[in-house]
Amino acid sequence: MGEEEPNQDPLIGATLGGLYLVERLIGVGGMGRVYKARHTLLGKDFAIKVLPEGRADKPDATERFLREARSASKVDNDHIVKVVNVDRDEEHRLFIVMELLEGENLAERIERGALPLHEAIDIAAQTGDALQAAHDAGIVHRDLKPENIFLVQRNGRDFVKVLDFGISKIKNPEHGDPKLTATDQIVGTPLYISPELARGIDEVDHRTDVYALGVIVYEMLTGTPPFTGQNHFQLLYKHGNEAPDPPSQRSTRANIPPHVESAVLRALEKNPDERFGSMHELSAALAGPTVPKRARTLGIPLLATAIVAGVAFLLWPTKPPPPTPALAPAAPVTSGMTKESDASVETADLDLGVESVTLSVESSPKGAIVAINGERRGRTPLAVELTAGEAAKVRFSLQGYRTELRQVVAGEDETLRVRLRKKSRPAPPPIKTDF
């Protein structure tokens, strides 16, 4: 989005609504022009989005413009841009007043290359938090893309602001939910569009945003989106039909952890039922497994108990005990802990030292869904971490091919390769000859 010279824009220097002095153009989009403006009474700067004059007389464009303001203002979340006001000026120009953001959008950040893993996951978590709040309020964004994820600096780190709810869908809104016109049936940006939107399905739910965020995380990790094409039709077809390459095959940086790759591929499932059920689930999967708090902290009480027991032994009187007929087995020092808690301590300590191995899983053709011991891990090729000595049942499934099962015992790093067999087509029904 480029800026125009002030003398080419009639709004520069104008006062919208009698209060907002327009100072300069910030950017231009399909649904409006965004300006920096100063409130003449408060002396505070705001961003103002103005609906172009050519669209102001179109009811669907006006509704879409107002929907952005209603959707953003309906959700109280720090990661969604704040809408201050909606108004018309004396020339009947419709405009939205929003908080002014200083920084860059995610698209500009990605142009400089793939992001470090921790930055990508942090940005995804904040974006997911904003969208989860929107979903809880019955709002689906439907046009999530890097350009709509704005990054400002707070306390030395990126702080996400999600923008542009112009084509969002509101369930049971107070003021009705008019359908878009036929020309707007396919909504969203083709690089980030979900398969259901690519097919022109208007009734979509929050899982279409899960897909879009999966595409964005993929691009943050690799520097490129999973699908590219020479035109919109190629992109729509690929999103609807082709399996993405695993991010690890595209990344030029250090290896992507298996749990991150698995989370991204699950978010990119064609069938919404096979994706994460919420943004919180996606963020948790990207963050990966965490060591239970009990296992991390239990060593300190045990060490303190041992020290106390040692000091008590040294200070205890040395008078010999009276003779006994037989010595009973010495009871272990428990410090008031039960056998059950002793068992959990022992298990926790052992778990911290368990060796893990990597199982690389491949199939021909690639793109098969892999489930290990009933848990979906992603699509082939992928790498999964297993506990040394663990028995694993690996299931491969791919549309049009027979399901394959394999049993492995994780002993060392190895590769499991499977060639899938096509399903035999059922015999055609007999042709009736009795006329």
Residue 224: CATH number of its domain? 1.10.510.10
Does the residue 64 lie in any domain?
A: yes
Task: Tell me if residue 143 is catalytic.
Answer: yes
Helices vs strands, H then E, count in the chain:
12, 18
**Domain interval for residue 270:** 104-172+185-287
Q: What is the pLDDT of residue 408?
A: 86
- 137 and 164 in a common domain: yes
- 12 and 131 in a common domain: no
Residue 177 contacts residue 169 (beta carbons within 8 Å): yes
Task: Answer with the one of 44, 66, 99 that is the final residue of a domain.
Answer: 99
- 233 and 168 in a common domain: yes
In order of 53, 86, 223, 371, 376, the CA distances from 403 in angstroms are 58, 56, 34, 11, 14
CATH of the domain at 363: 2.60.40.1120
- 249 and 390 in a common domain: no
Question: Domain total for the chain?
Answer: 3
- Name residues whose C-beta falls within 8 Å of residue 234's C-beta, 6 or more positions apart in sequence: none
Q: What is the pLDDT of residue 102?
A: 94
Q: How far is CA 414 from the centre of its chain?
A: 30
Question: Of the residues 143, 158, 164, 209, which is catalytic?
Answer: 143
C-alpha–C-alpha distance, residues 376 and 169, integer Å: 30
Give the predicted TM-score (pTM) of the model: 0.66
Nearest to 141 by CA among 172, 106, 187, 181: 187
- 246 and 199 in a common domain: yes
Q: What is the pLDDT of residue 316?
A: 53
Q: Which residues pair with 417 in a beta bridge?
A: 362
Does the residue 260 lie in any domain?
A: yes
Does the residue 292 lie in any domain?
A: no
Does the residue 215 lie in any domain?
A: yes
- 203 and 73 in a common domain: no
- 164 and 50 in a common domain: no
- 261 and 122 in a common domain: yes
- Name residues whose C-beta falls within 8 Å of residue 256's C-beta, 6 or more positions apart in sequence: 117, 221, 247, 248
Q: Any idea what DSSP says for residue 343?
A: H
Mean pLDDT in consecutive groups of 10 residues from the start of the chain, 435 residues: 58 92 86 90 94 67 77 86 86 87 96 95 97 92 93 95 70 37 49 91 88 98 93 92 92 84 96 96 90 48 51 51 51 43 41 72 90 85 86 85 84 87 60 42
- 238 and 280 in a common domain: yes
C-alpha–C-alpha distance, residues 208 and 218, integer Å: 16
- Name residues whose C-beta falls within 8 Å of residue 427's C-beta, 6 or more positions apart in sequence: none
Does the residue 20 lie in any domain?
A: yes
- 282 and 143 in a common domain: yes
- 165 and 53 in a common domain: no
Task: Answer with the one of 238, 263, 287 that is the final residue of a domain.
Answer: 287
Q: What is the pLDDT of residue 35?
A: 94
Token representation of residue 382: 């992928």
Does the residue 311 lie in any domain?
A: no
What are the backbone angles phi and psi of residue 128, rounded to the nearest 5°? -60, -35
C-alpha–C-alpha distance, residues 410 and 245, integer Å: 26
Token representation of residue 127: 């974006």
Token representation of residue 7: 């003398």
- 73 and 12 in a common domain: yes
